[in-house]
């Protein structure tokens, strides 16, 4: 991926410094809210509520994070983090699997009803879960899936974005490969496993990141369908720390929890960014 031209572009002195300057400014602005949240999670409540709040970290780090980790709202933060993790991975993996399979079927086969099925799937690009939430809730309840991971995951898998992207990608796989496989008498699934899957590796990675974040950040849906505190997710948990009436918000603990809630998705994005970017580049071609 590295291009020699970069060296050339970099060598120009003033321009280089200017570039760094812009970059640093950009990072400062973009990162500031998170920095502030971190600062708020290391100071005491009185320091926050009396303006102006400090912009450098204080010494209450352990106190606040201990409170966040071990008290929680209904259940400890650890439980909520685990639930979010299961939900996010479930949505990402589940959606990727069903999308790979159906995109493969649509691209590489001619079968009765293909057009109808494709349109059916494609229609689900519209109407996010928030808009059809009450009937969806009733369906999930009817299956006895309230307070279950399947209830958290399955309704959010019913959307076609991933299928559509895989279809686009499969269309760019050279026909010669399928032709060769057919001449060799390879079965379709053999071709799928040996050729298509390995070629889709970076796309899968990119989608995994996008879907993981999508699942992790869900708020309204988990709020409705988890009536058992043991099933609460972390984003829900943060919102629930806000008092509903006349009580005061405990900012340091709320902010500590917010920071904790950011860590897993940040790890996923940062650790997969190389693959993610390659996946995006590949699907560009």
Residues in 12-51 that interact with another protein by CB under 8 A: 12, 15, 19-20, 22-24, 26-27, 30-31, 33-34, 36-37, 40, 45-46, 49-51
- Number of residues interacting with another protein: please give it, by CB under 8 A: 155
Options 59, 184, 185, 285; binder of another protein; rule CB under 8 A: 285
CB of 59 to another protein, least distance (A): 19
Residues in 202-241 that interact with another protein by CB under 8 A: 204, 208, 213, 216-220, 223-224, 227-229, 235-236, 238-241
Listing DSSP states for 141-179 in one string gives HHTT-TTSHHHHHHHHH---HHHHHHHHHHHTS-HHHHH
Q: Which long-range contacts (CB under 8 A, 24 or more apart) does 208-212 make?
A: 208/92, 208/93, 208/96, 208/268, 208/272, 209/268, 209/269, 209/272, 209/276, 211/88, 211/91, 211/92, 211/95, 211/96, 211/162, 212/88, 212/89, 212/91, 212/92, 212/265, 212/268
Options 63, 158, 195, 199; binder of another protein; rule CB under 8 A: 158
The interface mask with another protein, positions 168-197, x = CB under 8 A, is: x-xx---x--xx--x-----xx-x-----x
Distance CA 190, CA 95 (A): 22
Options 250, 252, 256, 260; binder of another protein; rule CB under 8 A: 250
Per CB under 8 A, 67 contacts another protein: no
Q: CB nearer to another protein: give 66 or 130.
A: 130
Per CB under 8 A, 57 contacts another protein: no
């Amino acid at each position: 991926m590295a291009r020699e031209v970069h060296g050339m572009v970099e060598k120009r002195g003033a321009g280089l410094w200017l570039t760094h300057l812009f970059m640093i400014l950009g990072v400062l602005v973009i990162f500031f809210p998170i920095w502030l949240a971190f600062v708020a999670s290391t100071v005491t409540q009185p320091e926050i509520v009396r303006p102006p709040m400090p912009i450098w970290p204080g010494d209450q780090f352990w106190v606040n994070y201990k409170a966040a980790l071990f008290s929680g709202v209904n259940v400890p933060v650890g439980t909520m983090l685990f639930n979010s993790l299961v939900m996010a991975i479930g949505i990402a993996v589940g959606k990727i699997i069903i999308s790979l399979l159906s995109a493969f079927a649509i691209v590489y086969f001619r079968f009765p009803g293909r057009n109808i099925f494709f349109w059916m799937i494609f229609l689900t690009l519209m109407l996010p879960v928030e808009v059809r939430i009450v009937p969806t809730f009733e369906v999930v309840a009817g299956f006895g899936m309230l307070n279950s991971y399947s209830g958290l995951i399955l309704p959010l898998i019913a959307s076609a974005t991933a299928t559509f992207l895989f279809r686009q990608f499969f269309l760019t796989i050279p026909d010669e490969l399928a032709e060769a496989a057919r001449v060799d008498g390879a079965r379709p699934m053999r071709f799928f496993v040996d050729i298509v899957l390995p070629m889709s590796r970076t796309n899968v990675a990119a989608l995994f990141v996008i879907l993981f974040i999508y699942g992790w950040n869900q708020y309204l849906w988990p709020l409705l369908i988890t009536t058992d505190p043991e099933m609460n997710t972390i984003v829900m948990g943060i919102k629930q720390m806000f008092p509903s009436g006349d009580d005061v918000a405990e900012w340091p603990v709320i902010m500590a929890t917010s920071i904790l809630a950011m860590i897993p998705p940040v790890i996923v994005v940062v650790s997969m960014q190389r693959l993610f970017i390659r996946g995006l580049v590949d699907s560009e071609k």
